Amino acid sequence: MTPTSAQDIRDAADLLATAGDVTILGHVRPDADALGSALALGRALRQRGARVRVSFGEPDEAPETLRWLDEDGLLTHPDALPDAEELLVCVDTPTPKRLGRLAGRVELAGAVLVIDHHATNTFYGTCHVVDESAEASAVLVFRVLDELGAELDEPIARGLYAGIVTDTSGFRRASPETHRMAARLLEAGADPEAIVRRIVDERPFAWLPMLSSVLREARLEPEAAQGRGFVHAVVGVDAARTVRGEEVESVIDVVRSVREAAVAAVLKQDPAHPEQWQISLRSIGIDVSAVAAEFGGGGHRQAAGCTIAGSADEVVAGLREALERAPLL
């Protein structure tokens, strides 16, 4: 994959500049980068006079911690989308499969713009702004909005900042250019304290007993992952019953902090299909996107995910074996 070019940005901006009706999709179980980017882009297009909808395949509602980013009521239930789109924009979504039940809309759309920063992107659109070197899809949306000449107001800045601050782990992996982007977002009115507090820091009290029960059963395998260490934890349906999806997703950020392990995994049991597990992988020095790809998933080299069927022990065994084959970074 080669970094996106200035011409890619211009092509995307030209496509959006003439669009009168747009549907913007994020991946299933959208995070701050997917939803913040989509809503920021949607607001900018709406201000240009386009009719805009923002949606995702699952769950039926946006995470509670992200709903406040929807300043304009752009979020649209999948059942309320049109039969097909003149222009479909897929944000932070490397493959149609990650659109879930909305994947079929790609083939029906007149044009498909893909804006994404995943190494596993399959270039499934008719126009692409795809760059693995971008720390967040929000960075790429920012570049497209600049090319469009869109004005950065507070709601647009809020959505882009949410995507950047979360996907860079609080700017720990941000380039000088991305720090300069963040400065412009702050100048446009984004409130960093409020954004990080509402999306990252605040948790309900029920999160504490859930986390305690999960971490109590976590396991460290120092010799696994090619001798670099593998730590894993399981979030079963019973443990997750009292918390939101956001709290379950946050467990990986605690488990990944173990110093003795280069790879961390959290298995999250699917309530609708208890035999299936949604896997979050994080790493230092090992390409976990290759591991996820073995199970039909994908992501970044140091942050990836997939879905695996079986018992928790069988899933961990499969991950353990795949880690022995994973490329080193």
pLDDT tens digits for range 170-207: 999 899 999 999 999 999 999 999 999 999 999 999 99
Residue 1 clears pLDDT 60, i.e. is over it: no
- Please choose, from the candidates 128, 125, 149, 317, the residue with its C-alpha nearest in 3D space to the C-alpha of residue 221: 317
Q: Which band of pLDDT confidence, cut at 50, 70 and 90, is reported for residue 287?
A: very high
SS3 219: strand
3-state secondary structure of 240: helix
pTM of the entire predicted model: 0.89
Structure tokens belonging to residue 120 = 């596993």
The two structure tokens encoding residue 163: 């995507």
Q: How confident is the model at residue 2 (pLDDT cuts 50, 70, 90)?
A: low
| Whether domain 204-322 has CATH 3.10.310.30 | yes
HSE (side-chain half, CA atoms, 13 Å) at 309: 4
What is the tens place of the pLDDT at every residue in 10-51?
999 999 999 999 999 999 999 999 999 999 999 999 999 999
CATH of the domain spanning 4-199: 3.90.1640.10
Residue in the block written with tokens 């932070």: 92
User: Among residues 306, 29, 255, 36, which one has the least CA distance to residue 166?
Assistant: 36
> Mean per-residue pLDDT for 224-231?
97
Write the CB contacts of 273 (distance below 8 Å, at least 6 apart in sequence). none
The pLDDT confidence band at residue 219, using thresholds 50, 70 and 90, is very high
Angle at CA of residue 167, ends 116 and 276, nearest 5°: 80
CB 41 within 8 A of CB 89: yes
Token output for 310? 């079986």
pLDDT digits (tens, 9 = 90+) for 45-101: 999 999 999 999 999 999 999 999 999 999 999 999 999 999 999 999 999 999 999
According to DSSP, the β-strands at 21-25 and 303-309 are: unpaired
| Type of residue found at 61 | E
> What's the rounded Cα separation, in Å, for the pair 247 and 240?
8
pLDDT at residue number 28 = 92
Q: What is the SS3 assignment for 252?
A: helix
Question: What residue ranges do the domains of the chain occupy?
Answer: 4-199, 204-322
Contact 65, 196 (CB under 8 A): no
Quick one: DSSP state of residue 316? H
The pLDDT > 90 percentage for the chain reads: 92
Within 10 angstroms of residue 60's Cβ, the number of other Cβ atoms is: 9
